[in-house]
Amino acid sequence: MRLLASFVVMFALLALPARAQSLIRDADIEHALAQLARPILQAAGLSPPQVKILLIDSRIPNAFVIDSRAIFIHTGMITRLKSAEALQSVIAHEAAHIANGHISRRMSQLGTRNNITGLGIALAAAVAASGAKGSGAIALGVASSAQRSLLSHSRAEESSADQSAVRYLAASGISTRGAIEVHDIFKGQDVLSQSRQDPYARSHPFTRNRERAMEGYVNAYGGDIPFSDTSRYWFERAKGKIWGFQQAPKSTLRRAKQMATGDIKLMMEAIAYHRRAQTSKAAGVMQKLLKSRPNDAYYHELLGQVLLEGRQYKAAVNAYGRAAKLAPKNTLILAGYGRALLAAGQAKSAVEVLERARSRDFRDPAALRDLGNAYAKTGRPAMASLLVAERYALRGRFQDAALHAERAAGRLPRGSGPWQRAQDVLSAAQRQK
């Protein structure tokens, strides 16, 4: 657990006052984005399991990378784009910044490689469950000069990333025309004042020369590659779910009628009814959906969410349990399953499931919260204190973290794994003084 200590230190150092944004952790959306990104990351020589595509809850279109661990995309970017290939071109462009060494060189130039990498870890790790409003807020901004250095790219880097991105797309059998769509969306922003430009255009300057070069790259690498039905499906599924939870239910129901894919249409309808607190109606639609896709873990998870938030705890446990059987390694699904078990009064079983989730990803504050509650309800206050300490540490609240870590360390067997975890938190807190 030394990584935790390293992580929390870097988070504290670099989470400076800035506009707070929330990371959306949703197993279904992340799976869809992973499907779109996988061939591109492979073409770029990157490992798909090692590079997460993480979603930021902001309607302002933007995408960026900070280190090699994650590509961050705003919900506003996905909802603004009209095709899977356009989104894939954005992913390819950001992947190129990683593969071409632009980020690592900038870290080196800044002389803060370790700190900046720590910020990347923080952003990738300080992900909150989509439950409590604001609980997943993270500071995406750093000092203005550092922000410009981190998120802005030179013309040479942009040109290099554009060319590499088109090459990755072509090598993956993905239409390169999506890159033109992205350029068309942000065309002309260079003539606007800085305050009126979209953040993506500010950090990735779009010029007429760049547009002409991109057209040349697309033509050179075969812009006539046919569009993929599979990519279109995952794009529409991710976009549909984002729309369902961000827009008014009435708007979602209206948009659902326009969907050509039946299961996505039903998913959006279920979300709209769920947000209207019409649990029975939403669950009924999900049951209809699952008849056509009975082995889709992510739809079982959505049914579980509908039932859990509708206080139908026993049914929620069954739905999440089915999802966990279909996707036993998915940490977000496991965390949801554990949350449902806890709500249903099955604290002992919740501990087992949530520990499985924590062992795969110890950086989910919501899962740590639920696991701490489960330990408290099973009569293990020392472990409950430890989980509270780790959750506070992830949020950069080191004084509170130290208080609970000391309490845990005093009750845990000296030298044990949990005791060492408490020591890691205390060490990190001490370094913040």
pLDDT digit string, tens, across residues 277-320: 999 999 999 999 999 999 999 999 999 999 999 999 999 999 99
Closest Cα partner for 336 from 347, 349, 323, 346? 323
> 20-24 and 52-57 as β-strands: parallel, antiparallel, unpaired?
antiparallel
Which domain covers residue 70, as residue numbers?
2-220
Task: Please indicate whether residue 149 or residue 99 has the higher confidence score (pLDDT).
Answer: 99
Q: What is the pLDDT of residue 199?
A: 74
Domain contains 293: no
Q: What percent of the chain has pLDDT over 90?
A: 58
pLDDT digits (tens, 9 = 90+) for 157-192: 888 888 999 999 999 999 998 998 998 888 776 656
What is the value of pTM for the model shown? 0.84
Per-residue confidence band for 59, with pLDDT thresholds at 50, 70 and 90: confident
pLDDT at 38: 97
Which one of 19-23, 115-119, 290-294 scores highest in mean pLDDT? 290-294
CA–CA distance, 159 with 294 (Å, rounded to integer): 45
Residue 411 lies in a domain: no
Residue type, 54: L
Q: What is the pLDDT of residue 9?
A: 32
Q: Is residue 155 part of a domain?
A: yes
pLDDT the model gives residue 101: 81
At 217, the pLDDT band (50, 70, 90 cuts) reads: confident
Domain count, the chain: 1
Measure the CA–CA gap between 193 and 197, rounded to whole angstroms.
6
Residue 194 resides in a domain: yes
Neighbours of 244 (CB within 10 A): 24
Q: Residue 321's pLDDT is what?
A: 98
Instruction: Name the least confident of 116-130, 203-217, 226-240.
Output: 116-130
Sequence letter at residue 247: Q
Q: Which long-range contacts (CB under 8 A, 24 or more apart) does 146-153 make?
A: 146/110, 149/106, 149/109, 149/110, 150/66, 150/106, 150/116, 151/64, 151/66, 151/203, 152/202, 152/203, 153/97, 153/102, 153/203, 153/204, 153/205
Mean of pLDDT over the chain: 83
Q: Which residues pair with residue 65 across a beta bridge? A: 71
- Residue with the bigger pLDDT between 7 and 158: it is 158
| 223: confidence class by pLDDT, cuts 50, 70, 90 | low
Return the higher-pLDDT residue of 293 and 115: 293
pLDDT of amino acid 419: 97
The predicted model gives 95-99 an average pLDDT of: 94
Q: With a cut of 70, say whether residue 35 has pLDDT above it.
A: yes
Answer whether residue 15 is part of any domain. Answer: yes
Q: How far, rounded to the nearest angstrom, does the alpha carbon of residue 329 sit from its chain's CA centroid?
A: 17
Q: What are phi and psi of 282, to 5 degrees?
A: -65, -45
pLDDT exceeds cutoff 50 at 113: no
pLDDT of residue 151: 52
How much is the pLDDT for 118?
Answer: 40
| pLDDT value of position 104 | 62
Percent of the chain at pLDDT > 70 equals: 80
Structural domain includes residue 216 = yes
Q: Kindly report the CATH number assigned to the domain that includes residue 159.
A: 3.30.2010.10
Residue bearing the bigger pLDDT, 17 or 56: 56
pLDDT in tens, 330-368: 999 999 999 999 999 999 999 999 999 999 988 788 899
Q: Whose CA is closest to 122, among 329, 339, 428?
A: 428
